[in-house]
Structure 1
């Protein structure tokens, strides 16, 4: 009878630990990216267009 009580207490402790401990260490999800790359690509395109315009102006 004493072993049955010990098994019961260990089982209850294990179940409570399984539900409580993960919630203590839970972290917030990662923030969404501030830029999806479209802005960077557009900036690079503008710089290349200005470079092509300046090169065309110098050549002519």
Structure 2
């Protein structure tokens, strides 16, 4: 009797989950757009590198 009750609860849970999460039913989300670079990340990377070089030179001099 307990097994039947467990199966019933699992069936109800699966039904509610299927209604609430429609992406499980085979719908595929559209792919994300390709990342683009406007040069800001490259400029920031160069600035960080130059700051590290300046820090290293300052450390060596002192």
What band does the TM-score fall into relative to the shorter chain?
A: 0.3 to 0.5
Structure number with larger C-alpha Rg? 1
Q: TM-score, normalised by structure 1?
A: 0.45
Query: Quick one: higher RCO (CA 8 Å, sep 6+), 1 or 2?
Result: 2
Q: TM-score, normalised by structure 2?
A: 0.44
